[in-house]
Each structure stands twice: as C-alpha cells, then as structure tokens.
Chains A and B, each alone.
Chain A
Amino acid sequence: MKPLLIKNGYVYDPLNKINGEKVDIAVKDGKIVEESQINPLEAEVIDASNKVVMPGGIDIHTHIAGYAINAGRLYRPEDGHLLLEPRVSVRRSGSGYSVPSTFVTGYRYARMGYTMLCEPAMPPLLARHTHEELNDIPIVDTVAFTLLGNNWIVAQYLKKGEYEKCAAFVAWMLRATKGYCIKMVNPGGVEAWAWRSNVKDLNDPVPHFGITPAEFIHGLSIVNEMLRLPHSIHLHTNQLGVPGNFEITLGSFELTREVKANPIKGERKQSIHVTHAQFSSYGGDSWKTFESKAGAVAKYVNSNPHVTIDIGQVVPGETTTMTADGPLEYNLHSLNYLKWINHGIEIETGGGLVPFIYSRTSPVNSVQWATGLELALLIENPFQVYLSTDHPNAGPFIRYPKIISWLMSRRARESELQRLHAVTGKRSIIETINREYTLYEIAIVTRAGQAVALGISDIKGHLGVGADADIAVYDLDPNNLTSEGIEKAFSRALYTIKSGEIVVKDGEVVREGRGKRFWVNPKVNETLERTMLRDVRSTFAQYYTVTMANFPVQEAYVPLSSEIKIETTSIS
C-alpha cells in the first residue's frame, strides 16, 4: 500500500479543533501518521488546493442490510427499475433508488465520502441475515444495532428489577448477534402489536408482561451503562409519527437524565440517543392541527447534555418506509393504502414496510420537512444533533447533499419552502431561522459528532495521528460557496480514501475493498452468566423455534471482525 500525502487542502477536523486551516495529511498503512513518517518521494501526493478535506462520513442510522430492507427490495421491483447500475471493471451491478441493492449501497455512500455505516435494526433471530448483507456492502466499515426493546426476557428481568441478570442477558445477546448497541423501537408497543394493539404512552403497560415503555427505557439505559457500552441506548420513541407525540419524546429524555454515561472508551456524554427525532417532535392532536414542536425538543436538548439526536430529515419525493415499529406501518398503510408488509419475530420484535410519497402539496409532509431542519438549526451544539434521513424512511441517503445545502444556505431553504404547502410557515418557525451551518459544523453533524456518540472517536471521525485513514476530499472552495456548489461537491467526492486507499476518484468508485465489522463483547461475572443462562435455556427450549446452539452468529459471518472487548465482571 502506497503512502499518501494530501497537500494544501482546507481541513475541517472538529475533534482536533482544525477549522478550515491548511494542514497536510499523511497516510501510511491505513492510518494517519506524522508527515515525517512517510517518504514524500514514495508517496502518492493528492493536491487538495482550494478543496475541502474532512474525515470520512459516518451514518449513525441507515437501514441498509437485513430482513426489512430486503423485503423492501423484493416487493418493490418498481423501485429497482428507477436506478440501475451496470457492471464495469471494478464494480458489480445493482439496482434501486430508495431500496438499493447491497453493492451499489456501498458505492453510493463512498461517492459521497462516507466510510462508516450503522444498520440500526437487527432482530437477534435474523442477525445472520443482517451480517450476510453487510458483508456484501463494499468499502465501508459497518456495525449493526441489536433490537432489544420488545424482548420477552428483557421485559421479564426488568419487570422484576433484576438489572444484573438483564445486563448479563444483554451482554450475551450482543455477543450472540455480533451487535454494537442496545436498540429500542417503540418499546413495548411492538409486542402489543402482535395482538394488534399498541402502547399509548410511556406508562401504558404491555399486554401480559405488564412492563411499561418507561421501565424498558430507564431499565435498559441503566443496563447500558452497567455494561460500559461505547454507545448509549438508541431509541425510536413510542407513538412515533403521531400528532402530539413531542411530550412522549421529552418524557423519554427525562427518563435517563440521572443516568450517567459510563462508556469503556471515548467521551460521549449522552445516556440516550433518540433517533430520527423529526418523527417524534410533533404537536397538535390530529392531522388537521398537526404542527412542529421542534422548538420544544431543541430547548430541552440545549439544556441537557445527556441527550443526542439524529434528525431523520424528510426529503420531498418517493421512498419506502420500514421499521420494527409494526403498528406505525399499519397506520401508514391506513393513510395511503399502499402495499403493506408486516413481520413478527418470535420473542423479540416485529416490523413493517409501506411505500411512501412525501408530497410538497401535503400540509403534513411540508411541516415534517420544516420540523427536521428546525431541530438541526435550533439545537445549538452540533455535537448533539446529527444528519440522517433514517434512510430510506424520510428519504434515500443519496439526498444528503441536498440537506447539507439546506443547512448551509438560508436561500436554499427559502427556495424549497416556496414549493411547499403554504401552511408550513404557520405550523413551524422555519422561515424565521437565520442560522446557516458552517463547513466546520457540517463536519460535526456528518462525522465527528457521530464518532463521539458511537464511542469510536479514538479511531474514527477525525484526522489526527493514529486515526483510521478514512478521508473525504470535496471539490469545494470554502471561500466561494454556493448552495448548488455545495450540493454538487458533497454528491461526488473528489477523493474518498478508506483505510489508506483511494476508493473514489472524481466521484467514481475505482477500487472495491471490504470494510470491517465492529461489535461489542461485554463479559460479565461467570456465576451471574450461568444463572442467567439457566433461565434463557428454558425459554429457548420452549418458545424459540431454533435451538440455542444454532442461535449465535458464527464467526463465519464476520470475516473482518473488529471486536470491542469490555470487562464488566464487577457486575454480579
């Protein structure tokens, strides 16, 4: 592997407090090194004069692999036909716009300068499927979040207040699924949906199990910090997408206010990450009175460092919605009558899909657009808010450059606003917001912030010596910014470098490497684990339909494994 030297670029590296200064970046053996460590005669030199240099992008929440996205591809061939890519020398073929096939998913992210992706919804029983697909996504590093927020065993332990056993079980599950963190989707509500019901608020008990969503959220946040996981709990709130749900969101934040972040590494401060918060920041009591409550949510976040969010920005156009939140998808189907998939996964979770068109003529969709941007613009500390579309739920990830242009340019927002429903100005305050993101802030909300929240800022999300050499160079002159220029530059990176190798040049993939899989392996006290396993064994024997021996994801599914070992034997 040839050393690289990226010269004369304007570098945006927030974790090292570099704000658009000209710094040369040296790369050797996949890592960023001191310039003195490489021989400039051997190195390939990239002239980044008048270009922007950032760490590789990180997407903290994107549905790219596993049962749900694949069901989307399978039942939407019409989406496949929208965007086809042929086979060329270094690239495989593929298809799909909102539900792209795996190879092109990797290429499209790499073209935008992204180098790490988080698949946010891995059902434990289907974990092998998620990993198989992640293995087929080229270039990028990946992680998968393990769904635990409707799990019967978790519910039973938490209801009895047995946090230690619950922690031992969660540790076992993360290891068995090669997962990265505790993901919760409509905690309790998905189990209720198996009986065609739902939970209506944080204190509504789940049928049969009696546990409330609040007990799920609070309990698992405690377990998360007992296990010293690098990321916090990752929550899709209850009553997501429903008018008036912002109070449940604020209530969910409150549940972990006293829970102290305790990660094994990194410096995250949050004890809760609420994902695609746009969908959870609504006022009103019906679709007629629907309005943005992003202001109230942002206000809370601004005074509470224990919270981070990603926005889940709506982009007008056609897409496919998919979530483990089964009742939500049925409600969507009842709104638009488009084809509906529902899935139930024994003991664990469920889910569904519905195609969706975010229409500029729809008052609700227009206000949703404003809500996401308001969150991004009203939350003062960009380390607490990250860019996402909850791909593909609020829009496909290939629309990120458009969103960046909205964040950086008031004019770009105004020109979109003019095309939206007239009610937008009355049901949101987006018109009154003057803030425009700087490139430094964009670097935070698209990479540095995610790295900190995920607890991997030691090697990701920055360009300091020792970091993984995941770098994006954009053809953008910071002294001459236009919203069109911004969108174009972020759509096609001039260079994307992954693990020290040039994978994209002039916006096209030139090399197809394989990324690593990060996963956590917390180890608890052996006696505690044995006690827990006794309970779990009987559940397997009686209620699962695969044997316990066949349940854990085998090593074969993580060929480029990057295990994060955590010793938490003090829990007993």
Chain B
Amino acid sequence: MPKIITDVVCPYCGCLCDDLEVVIENNKIIETRSNCELGTKRFLDSDIPTRLKTPRIRVNGEFKEVSMDEAVQRAAEILVKAKRPLLYGWSSTECDAIKVGVELAEELGAVFDDTTSVCHGPTTLALQEVGISTCTLGDIKNRADLVIYWGCNPLQAHPRHLSRYTTFPRGFFRERGQENRTLVVVDVRKTDTAKLANHFLQVKPNYDYELISAFRLAIKGYKVPDFVGGIPREKIEEIAGIMKRSQFIAIFFGLGVTMSGAKNRTIDNILSLTRDLHKFTKCVIMPMRGHYNVTGFNEVSTWETGFPYAVDFSRGYPRYNPGETSTIDVLMRGEVDAALIVASDPIAHFPKEATKHLMSIPIVAIDSHESLTTEVASVVIPAAIAGIEVDGTAYRMDHVPIRLRKILEPPPGVLPDRQILARVLENVRRLKGEAQ
C-alpha cells in the first residue's frame, strides 16, 4: 500500500516549501504533490544510478571501495596532516551537520566557508555596510502591493516563489491576490518572469548601479538623465511614482545584481534605495538565496563564531576577512593543502585557477551523489540526504527555520552528514592526541 506523507519540506531551493505530499511505497518515492519540477526531481533523484552508496578511497590513482571505518580514518589522516585545511560546502545540508563542521574547523585550525562566498557574499558585505530592511515572506503575501524582481528569474530558479509567497496568492490585505499587486521585473533579458510583469525594464548589462541611483534620485524629486542603462527617463519616473504611491513594496534580487559590475557596491545601493523609500512608504528587500539551507549556514556560523562565512580558525579564534579568508582567495593563493567538501560540487563551479589548485590537493568529499568533485576526490563518503532520509533544521531565505522531515530510510550503511562528521572529528582528535 502506498503511504502518503503530508507537510513534507522540500530540501532544494531557498523557498523551502513545507506543504508537499509525498507518496511512498516499499521505501521508494513514487510521487510528490504540490511540488515544482525542481523539487520533484530532488525527491525522485534519491534513487538513481549516480547515488553514492559505498565509501571509496583512491589508491595509486584508482578508486577502491572500503569500509566506513577505513574511509573516515583516511579522511581524518588527510585533514590532520594538512597545514591549512579548507572545509567547504554546507549549504545543502542541515544545521546539526554544520555545527559539527564548526567544531571540526576549530579543532583543525581550518578555513570554514560555504557557497555564500561565491554567491550572495556581496550581499552580506553590503548589509554590513548599510543594514537591510526585510521581513518574512508571509508579510509580503499579506501586505505587498508592489513586487519587484531585479536580476533574478524565479519562474525558473525558485518556481513557487511567485505563486506561494509574493504575487499570486491572496493575502490578508490583498484579498484579490495578483489583481491587488503590481509586478515589476528588471533584467538584462526578457525572462519568463519578465513576461508576467506589469512593467519590464530591460537594463543594459552592468548598468544596475546606475539604474538604482536613478530611482534614488527620482523618488526624491531630482531630475534624472534622459536614458539610464537603456531605460528612458519617463519610465524611471513612472516606476518611481508607483513606488511612492504603494503601501508596501517588496524587492527581490538575485545574482544578476550581486555579480554585476560593482558587486557589493551595487547591493549597497539597492539596500539604500529600500531605506530611502521609508521616507514615503514601507519597503522591504530580500536576496533570492539559492540552496535550501544557505541561510541556515550563515545563521549557525554566525551564532557559533560571530561571523557568517569565510571564517579562519588558524589562530585558534575565529577570524573573518572576506577577500583574504574566503575560499576562492585561499585557493587562488595556493595556500590550502587539503579540503573537506560537504554537500557541494566546487570543481564544477569554481573559477578555473581555483579549481586547478583544488584538483592538486587531497579532497575528502561527503555527498549523496556523484559529482565532478567526488570524481577527483581522494576519499568519498556517501551521505544520507537531509530532508528526505535525515531530519534536521533548515532556514528559508527569509530566515524562517523549518524542521526537515525524514520520510525514507537511507541506503544500508549510509549515514547522515552529522554522524559522518562526528566520526571524522573523533578520529581527528585521536590522531592529534597520538601525535602529542
């Protein structure tokens, strides 16, 4: 008999939808309901040929299948031997695993970093400069009458974002849903999200900073140039007018803004626009976080160490100096001599020079599926999938913590990240004790 499990939380993107129904038969997922395409694939992929089930270590260039004990021991040896280990990944696992990660980094004097470093890192730097006016997604659902997506395409990347949280749903003060709201999209190309918009502003690539500045001028009544980033003055003034007349504005931005031109200075500018709008109305802003628990990584790292990412423990206390202590930088400088990668695939995503160095050092990879990183790793430890085979905490993009559910048993012998890491930590401590 198939079993239907309700209120399942989706461990895929930063939307962290928690209203799924999953149908299970014989410890296999048959179907998920209320889910988007990306989330569905996440669940159904728990049992595909690339799923890792046995630990392996590299011997003379070839992979050899080994016991969990042996793999964990080898991982610990690599990490203890390293002078400057890097512990990276973390955004697609649950918070308890991240906590063990902090402890392991502290024990090893390692650099501890996550995907924020190559993603919304500029957002973090900007809000450390100017702060941020934000809210939970429900506040937007209930109140927002103007929704702006800037440099992001949620219809493809966060498919239920508009329908569950921001634009389409009926809210307490927006009883007619989309009819009560204006949707504005700013992007360099006409995305599927842009096609839905009441107003689409096709900004020239790398002119986001200028366009934001133009809005800051326009809302204060200053004259703006005839064209800014390819957008005519009349359009800018029209949108500025809509902003000032709105009761509650919600701005969302993606990597189209964080990674364009002036990077954190662009974010600084858009956060300042949000703040400036408080002279007239209410305005909130939120980065579109990608991985389902990247926000959770920032939270855990911050409360345990004081810093959100790029934490360097080499001096015994946590030190934070992005640009110096961040992953890409320690790799580009060739400092790192071993890496532990958890639930992430940096080899597939990092800049070439960083990847080159990473491939030249021993890597311990803990992941549920094969990836380019597991292919080049020295030790590969299969992990159970948090949110499907393991419970735990994840933080939605608006910092709302939700308890992930365990709905399936992992493959035999496959452990959760937190248990694998605890065993690595135990072995590291033992090896360090022996060395003394």
Residues of A within 8 A of B418 (CB): none
Q: How close is A137's CB to chain B, nearest CB, in angstroms?
A: 9
Partner of B303, one of A73, A87, A343: A73
- Contact status A542-B170, CB under 8 Å: yes
A549 to B7, CA, bound (A): 7
- Contact status A93-B128, CB under 8 Å: no
Interface string of A90-132 (1 = CB under 8 A from B): 0011111001111100000000000000000000011011001
A346 with B142: in contact, given A93-B318, A550-B9 (CB under 8 Å)? yes
Find the B residue at minimum CB distance from A196: B282
Confirm or deny: B222 has a beta carbon within 8 angstroms of a beta carbon on chain A: no
Q: How close is A342's CB to chain B, nearest CB, in angstroms?
A: 4
A80 to B395, CA, bound (A): 23
User: For residues 426 through 448 of chain A, which have their beta carbon under 8 Å from a beta carbon of chain B?
Assistant: none
A543 to B171, CA, bound (A): 6
- Contact status B318-A84, CB under 8 Å: yes
User: For residues 545 through 567 of chain A, which have their beta carbon under 8 Å from a beta carbon of chain B?
Assistant: 545-547, 549-550, 554, 556
- Contact status B401-A195, CB under 8 Å: no
Interface string of A265-294 (1 = CB under 8 A from B): 000000000000000000000000000000
A194 with B136: in contact, given A75-B127, A136-B304, A340-B275 (CB under 8 Å)? no
Q: How close is B99's CB to chain A, nearest CB, in angstroms?
A: 8
Interface string of B101-142 (1 = CB under 8 A from A): 001001100000000000000001001111111111111011
A341 to B320, CA, bound (A): 21
User: For residues 276 through 335 of chain B, which have their beta carbon under 8 Å from a beta carbon of chain A?
Assistant: 278, 281-282, 284, 298-300, 302-308, 313, 315-320
- Contact status A344-B284, CB under 8 Å: yes
A96 with B141: in contact, given A195-B282, A339-B131, A543-B172 (CB under 8 Å)? no
Find the A residue at minimum CB distance from B131: A339
User: For residues 311 through 342 of chain A, which have their beta carbon under 8 Å from a beta carbon of chain B?
Assistant: 330, 333, 339-342
- Contact status A77-B400, CB under 8 Å: no
Interface string of B1-43 (1 = CB under 8 A from A): 0000011010000000011000000000000000000000000
Find the A residue at minimum CB distance from B133: A342
A331 to B302, CA, bound (A): 27
Find the B residue at minimum CB distance from A80: B306
- Contact status B403-A128, CB under 8 Å: yes
Confirm or deny: B247 has a beta carbon within 8 angstroms of a beta carbon on chain A: yes
Residues of A within 8 A of B348 (CB): none
- Contact status A545-B302, CB under 8 Å: no
Confirm or deny: A74 has a beta carbon within 8 angstroms of a beta carbon on chain B: yes
Confirm or deny: B158 has a beta carbon within 8 angstroms of a beta carbon on chain A: no
A132 with B138: in contact, given A74-B124, A94-B306, A547-B7 (CB under 8 Å)? no
A70 to B303, CA, bound (A): 6
A544 to B164, CA, bound (A): 11
Which residue among B137, B170, B300, B401 has the maximum number of chain A CB atoms within 10 Å of its CB?
B401
Residues of B within 8 A of A343 (CB): 134-136
A69 to B304, CA, bound (A): 12
Q: How close is B125's CB to chain A, nearest CB, in angstroms?
A: 10
Residues of B within 8 A of A341 (CB): 127, 131-134
- Contact status A133-B318, CB under 8 Å: no
A330 to B132, CA, bound (A): 11
Q: How close is B163's CB to chain A, nearest CB, in angstroms?
A: 12
- Contact status B138-A80, CB under 8 Å: no
- Contact status B248-A195, CB under 8 Å: yes
- Contact status A194-B282, CB under 8 Å: yes
A74 to B248, CA, bound (A): 26
Find the A residue at minimum CB distance from B403: A554
Interface string of A514-553 (1 = CB under 8 A from B): 0000000000000000000000000000111111011000
A208 with B173: in contact, given A76-B128, A77-B307, A342-B134 (CB under 8 Å)? yes
- Contact status A544-B139, CB under 8 Å: no
- Contact status A67-B399, CB under 8 Å: yes
Find the A residue at minimum CB distance from B404: A550
A543 with B142: in contact, given A70-B302, A77-B128, A93-B318 (CB under 8 Å)? yes
Partner of B304, one of A84, A101, A339, A353: A101
A345 with B172: in contact, given A128-B401, A545-B165, A554-B403 (CB under 8 Å)? no
A545 with B141: in contact, given A80-B306, A93-B313 (CB under 8 Å)? yes
- Contact status B307-A543, CB under 8 Å: no
Residues of B within 8 A of A136 (CB): 99, 303-304
User: For residues 336 through 378 of chain A, which have their beta carbon under 8 Å from a beta carbon of chain B?
Assistant: 339-347, 350, 353-354
Confirm or deny: A162 has a beta carbon within 8 angstroms of a beta carbon on chain B: no
- Contact status B402-A95, CB under 8 Å: no
A102 with B304: in contact, given A345-B139, A346-B136, A550-B9 (CB under 8 Å)? yes
- Contact status B136-A550, CB under 8 Å: no
Q: How close is B8's CB to chain A, nearest CB, in angstroms?
A: 9
A545 with B137: in contact, given A93-B305, A132-B401, A194-B248 (CB under 8 Å)? yes
Q: How close is B97's CB to chain A, nearest CB, in angstroms?
A: 13
Confirm or deny: A47 has a beta carbon within 8 angstroms of a beta carbon on chain B: no
Confirm or deny: B152 has a beta carbon within 8 angstroms of a beta carbon on chain A: no
A80 to B303, CA, bound (A): 11
Partner of B139, one of A85, A126, A196, A346: A346
A342 to B317, CA, bound (A): 30
Partner of B393, one of A128, A196, A542, A544: A128
User: For residues 118 through 167 of chain A, which have their beta carbon under 8 Å from a beta carbon of chain B?
Assistant: 125-126, 128-129, 132-133, 136, 152
Residues of A within 8 A of B400 (CB): 125-126, 545-546
A94 to B305, CA, bound (A): 5
User: For residues 54 through 74 of chain B, which have their beta carbon under 8 Å from a beta carbon of chain A?
Assistant: none
A152 to B171, CA, bound (A): 14
- Contact status B304-A94, CB under 8 Å: yes
Q: How close is A104's CB to chain B, nearest CB, in angstroms?
A: 8
Residues of A within 8 A of B275 (CB): 340
Residues of A within 8 A of B303 (CB): 65, 69-70, 73, 101-102, 132-133, 136
Interface string of B57-98 (1 = CB under 8 A from A): 000000000000000000000000000000000000001000
- Contact status B284-A342, CB under 8 Å: yes
A87 with B134: in contact, given A75-B128, A543-B172 (CB under 8 Å)? no
Which residue among B127, B129, B141, B305 has the maximum number of chain A CB atoms within 10 Å of its CB?
B305
Which residue among A347, A543, A554 has the maximum number of chain B CB atoms within 10 Å of its CB?
A543
A103 to B19, CA, bound (A): 35
A129 with B299: in contact, given A87-B106, A346-B142, A545-B137 (CB under 8 Å)? yes
A550 to B401, CA, bound (A): 10
A22 to B129, CA, bound (A): 55
A100 to B391, CA, bound (A): 29
Residues of A within 8 A of B143 (CB): 194-195
Find the A residue at minimum CB distance from B285: A342
Partner of A340, one of B106, B133, B317: B133
Residues of A within 8 A of B129 (CB): 339
Residues of A within 8 A of B402 (CB): 128, 546, 550
- Contact status B134-A93, CB under 8 Å: no
Residues of B within 8 A of A95 (CB): 305-307, 317-318
A221 to B391, CA, bound (A): 38
Q: How close is A547's CB to chain B, nearest CB, in angstroms?
A: 5
Partner of B316, one of A93, A354, A549: A93
Which residue among A95, A96, A103, A136 has the maximum number of chain B CB atoms within 10 Å of its CB?
A95
A-B contact pairs, 16 of them (CB 8 A): A75-B132, A99-B306, A101-B318, A103-B304, A128-B401, A129-B395, A129-B399, A136-B303, A208-B173, A339-B130, A342-B133, A342-B134, A344-B139, A346-B137, A353-B131, A550-B403
Contacts from A to B (Cβ < 8 Å): 65, 67, 69-70, 73-77, 80-81, 84-87, 92-96, 99-103, 125-126, 128-129, 132-133, 136, 152, 194-196, 208, 330, 333, 339-347, 350, 353-354, 542-547, 549-550, 554, 556
**Top 9 A-B pairs, shortest CB-CB distance:** A346-B138, A344-B135, A95-B306, A339-B131, A86-B316, A80-B306, A342-B133, A128-B401, A545-B138
Question: Contacts A132-B401, A545-B138 given; 10 further ones with Cβ under 8 A?
Answer: A76-B128, A84-B318, A101-B318, A125-B138, A125-B400, A128-B403, A346-B136, A545-B141, A547-B18, A550-B403
